[in-house]
């Protein structure tokens, strides 16, 4: 196991951005960067033992800063959407940045994604990224100290540990927004890759992609991923939910959530033989099928076309500040918001 630190480049404002390369005994390699505390490469062996980069995104500062759809990055402090671009805590209303259609907030306006975090090697197989935000930035309350630690294990798993503490009561809900393609970056779309999600219900959304508050059974609908099925099988189904979002882009409510680390989803490519198992301590997972990707050039200048990657974003349900029946992610001052998500790989 080893970790190497290099300079990736500089932001437009002249800040240095380091890249950390973790390599384990099997040759699996993960590259992590200080910009967005993100993942820019995961090289895993396929069934023939050949290494494939299973992440879709950028590895240059220009793409990361100017063309990003959150590829590989941490989104937060509140990932996903907040309706109306505001919320209330203890009777005080906090108007937030409205970066989606001028009427709602998505991924906290990109705050965590477009921040240079401070990265530090921990031993020979982990890197911790830290960042303390200013209270009130983008209207969002709380000076939150966030630490995200990535650990690569010898059994080809990448563990993400999140630990956040605010000086005021606030909502805390960060996620990692990696786009995966289990045949490798640049190999086409992900429609034949098979997905299982351990969720009997999901949160339907309105035309603005905001949850209606309902927890709807997946049974008998295109949202039933309880047994493995190709992502593309039902994605063009004419139901209202898929029309609202232009393809899967929904939060699934994980069965049996109790805060312990449980398997949330399994994705497999029959072609490469690579399987990704996602486990998390969190109650939800956003399955986003890359519907908005529109040919923007990524690594090696290869265009990222519609559905060339999928995201499995572990999270509290979207818009929880407006849904009292959803599990709460409102944390008291000084309380640690802790969670863990694991991306484990194998090939057969």
The yes or no reply on residue 69 touching ligand GLA (CB under 6 A) is yes
Stretch that binds ligand GLA, among 91-99, 125-133, 275-283, 286-294 (CB under 6 A): 286-294
The yes or no reply on residue 288 touching ligand GLA (CB under 6 A) is yes
Classify strands 126-132 and 144-152 as parallel, antiparallel or unpaired: antiparallel
Q: Which is nearer to ligand GLA, 8 or 312 (CB)?
A: 312
The yes or no reply on residue 106 touching ligand GLA (CB under 6 A) is yes
Active site (annotated) includes residue 93: no
∠ CA 148-283-68, nearest 5°, is 50
The yes or no reply on residue 286 touching ligand GLA (CB under 6 A) is yes
The yes or no reply on residue 180 touching ligand GLA (CB under 6 A) is no
Min separation Cβ 273 and ligand GLA, Å: 27
Residue 286's SS3 state is strand
Candidates 72, 32, 320; CA nearest to 173 is: 320
Active site (annotated) includes residue 313: yes
Computed from CA positions of residues 284, 233, 275, 249, in that sequence, does the dihedral angle turn out positive or negative? negative
Give the CB-nearest residue to ligand GLA.
Answer: 288
Count the neighbouring beta carbons within 10 Å of the beta carbon of residue 49.
Answer: 9
The yes or no reply on residue 172 touching ligand GLA (CB under 6 A) is no
Q: Count the residues of the shown chain that bind ligand GLA, applying the rule CB under 6 A.
A: 11
The yes or no reply on residue 219 touching ligand GLA (CB under 6 A) is no
Min separation Cβ 249 and ligand GLA, Å: 5
Exposed/middle/buried for 126, CB within 10 Å: 0-12, 13-18, 19+?
buried
The yes or no reply on residue 74 touching ligand GLA (CB under 6 A) is no
The yes or no reply on residue 311 touching ligand GLA (CB under 6 A) is yes
Tokens at 297, concatenated? 């050039």
The string of DSSP letters for 124-137 reads TTEEEEEEEPPTTG
Residue 256's SS3 state is coil
The yes or no reply on residue 194 touching ligand GLA (CB under 6 A) is no
Exposed/middle/buried for 86, CB within 10 Å: 0-12, 13-18, 19+?
middle
The footprint of ligand GLA (CB under 6 A) covers 69-70, 80, 106, 209, 249, 286, 288, 292, 311, 313
Which residues form the catalytic set? 177, 313
């Amino acid at each position: 196991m080893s970790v190497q630190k290099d300079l990736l480049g500089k932001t437009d404002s002249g800040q240095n951005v380091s890249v950390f390369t973790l390599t384990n005994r099997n040759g699996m390699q993960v590259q992590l960067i200080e910009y967005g505390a993100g993942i820019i490469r995961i090289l895993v062996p396929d069934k023939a033992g050949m290494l494939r980069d299973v992440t879709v995104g950028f590895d240059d500062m220009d793409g990361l800063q100017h063309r990003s759809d959150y590829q590989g990055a941490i989104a937060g402090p509140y990932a996903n959407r907040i309706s109306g671009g505001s919320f209330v805590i203890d009777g005080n209303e906090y108007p937030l940045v409205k970066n989606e259609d001028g009427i709602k907030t998505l991924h906290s306006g990109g705050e965590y994604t477009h921040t240079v975090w401070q990265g530090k090697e921990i031993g020979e197989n982990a890197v911790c990224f830290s960042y303390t935000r200013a209270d009130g930035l983008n209207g969002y309350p709380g000076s939150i100290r966030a630490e995200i630690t990535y650990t690569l294990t010898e059994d080809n798993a990448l563990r993400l540990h999140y630990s956040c503490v605010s000086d005021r009561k606030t909502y805390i809900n960060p996620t990692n927004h990696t786009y995966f393609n289990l045949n490798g970056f640049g190999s086409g779309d992900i429609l034949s890759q098979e997905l299982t999600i351990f969720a009997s219900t999901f949160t339907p959304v309105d035309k603005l992609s905001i949850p209606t508050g309902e927890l709807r059974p997946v049974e008998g609908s295109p949202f039933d991923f309880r047994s493995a099925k190709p992502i593309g099988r039902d994605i063009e189904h004419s139901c209202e939910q898929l029309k609202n979002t232009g393809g899967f882009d929904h939060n699934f409510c994980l069965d049996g959530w109790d805060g312990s680390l449980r398997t949330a989803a399994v994705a497999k490519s029959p072609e490469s033989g690579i399987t990704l198992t996602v486990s998390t301590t969190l109650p939800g997972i956003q399955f986003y099928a890359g519907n908005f990707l529109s040919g923007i050039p990524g690594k090696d200048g290869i265009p990222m076309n519609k559905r060339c990657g999928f995201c499995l974003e572990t999270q509290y349900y979207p818009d929880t500040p407006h849904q009292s029946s959803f599990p709460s992610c409102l944390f008291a001052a000084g309380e640690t918001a802790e969670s863990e998500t694991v991306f484990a790989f194998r090939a057969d």
